[in-house]
């Protein structure tokens, strides 16, 4: 199930979303052109390793400064492969522009960074002794999805599902898709906590934390007096512009 577009109209060009995509892409291209040992060191030092902050002896043995909090931010701009960055950036492009349009460019950037940092903090607290670096923008993008779900619950998301190489298209309301996606993250994260030796490369709790942070923060930011263009209804559903266009 792959989202390809939504139905929320935009009024402004999503310069922040596009800039984030470009920045992530540039960092990724820099990563993959590093020698393997250098790339490993970059991910270890700039990725978020929970044990760096909870196991000081281990951190000292591995040359990691437990008082350096840059990884909470830098980890969000590192990715582990082409599928990783393509999936994240496409999801950001689908769900980010509508939020940026409603919040404004500066407020959206603040929103993105806050939910991303919150996602990393949640990952740390749910994986306190992990020595595996967490990298990727998925925590912040989960926050964007959470904010989108709360602000535009009745928007329609168009998906494509390939069945035996035949594409099938269907639509879901944003609130249903958001709930379904969040439930998967929560179940997988809970399973990871209670099933012995279960391992994987997905930071499930960063997704959970980011989504919840986004769902809460969007309400706070929209309650601070920001007025949206009058041709968008309170649910963010499709409506007519003053000139009669959608």
| Segment 159-211, tens digit of pLDDT | 888 888 888 888 999 999 999 999 999 999 998 877 654 445 688 999 999 99
Mention every residue, 6+ apart, whose C-beta is less than 8 A from residue 219. Answer: 150
Is 227 part of a structural domain of the chain?
Answer: no
Is 239 part of a structural domain of the chain?
Answer: no
Is 146 part of a structural domain of the chain?
Answer: yes
| pLDDT number for residue 166 | 85
CATH of the domain at 154: 1.20.1540.10
Q: How many helices (H) and strands (E) does the chain have?
A: 10, 3
Is 58 part of a structural domain of the chain?
Answer: yes
Average predicted confidence (pLDDT) for the chain: 88
Share of the chain above pLDDT 90, in %: 75
Query: 80-108 as b/e, with b when 16 or more CB fall inside 10 Å?
Result: eeeebbebbbebbbbbbbbbbbbbbbebb
| pLDDT number for residue 173 | 94
| pLDDT number for residue 230 | 43
Is 95 part of a structural domain of the chain?
Answer: yes
| pLDDT number for residue 226 | 55
Is 245 part of a structural domain of the chain?
Answer: no
Domains in the chain, number: 1
- Which residue in the block uniquely carries the two structure tokens 């607290």? 125
2-20 pLDDT, tens digit each: 888 999 998 999 999 999 9
* Host domain of residue 102: 2-222
DSSP 110-147: HHHHHHHHHHHHHHHHHSTT--SPB--SHHHHHHHHHH
Is 242 part of a structural domain of the chain?
Answer: no
The pLDDT averaged over each successive group of 10 residues in the chain (246 residues) is: 87 96 98 96 96 94 95 96 95 96 95 97 94 95 97 93 83 93 93 64 91 96 66 46 36
Is 237 part of a structural domain of the chain?
Answer: no
């Amino acid at each position: 199930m792959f989202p390809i577009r939504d139905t929320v109209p935009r009024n402004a060009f999503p310069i922040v979303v596009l800039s984030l995509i470009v920045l992530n892409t540039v960092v990724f291209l820099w990563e993959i052109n590093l020698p393997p040992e250098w790339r490993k060191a970059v991910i270890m030092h700039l990725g978020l390793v929970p044990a760096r902050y909870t196991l000081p002896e281990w951190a000292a043995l591995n040359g990691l400064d437990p008082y350096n909090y840059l990884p909470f931010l830098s980890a969000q701009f590192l990715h582990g492969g082409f599928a990783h960055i393509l999936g994240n950036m496409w999801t950001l492009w689908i769900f980010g522009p509508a939020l940026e349009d409603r919040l404004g460019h500066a407020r959206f950037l603040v929103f993105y960074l806050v939910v991303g940092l919150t996602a990393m903090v949640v990952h740390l607290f749910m994986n306190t002794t992990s020595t595996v670096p967490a990298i990727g923008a998925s925590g912040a993008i989960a926050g964007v999805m959470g904010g989108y779900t709360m602000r535009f619950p009745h928007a329609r998301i168009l998906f494509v599902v390939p069945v035996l190489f035949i594409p099938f298209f269907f639509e879901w309301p944003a609130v249903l898709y958001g709930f379904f996606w969040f439930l998967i993250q929560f179940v997988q994260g809970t399973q990871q906590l209670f099933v012995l030796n279960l391992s994987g490369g997905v930071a499930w709790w960063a997704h959970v934390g980011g989504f919840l942070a986004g769902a809460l923060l969007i309400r706070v930011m929209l309650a601070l007096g920001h007025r949206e263009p009058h041709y968008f209804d309170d649910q963010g559903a499709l409506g007519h512009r003053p000139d009669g266009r959608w």
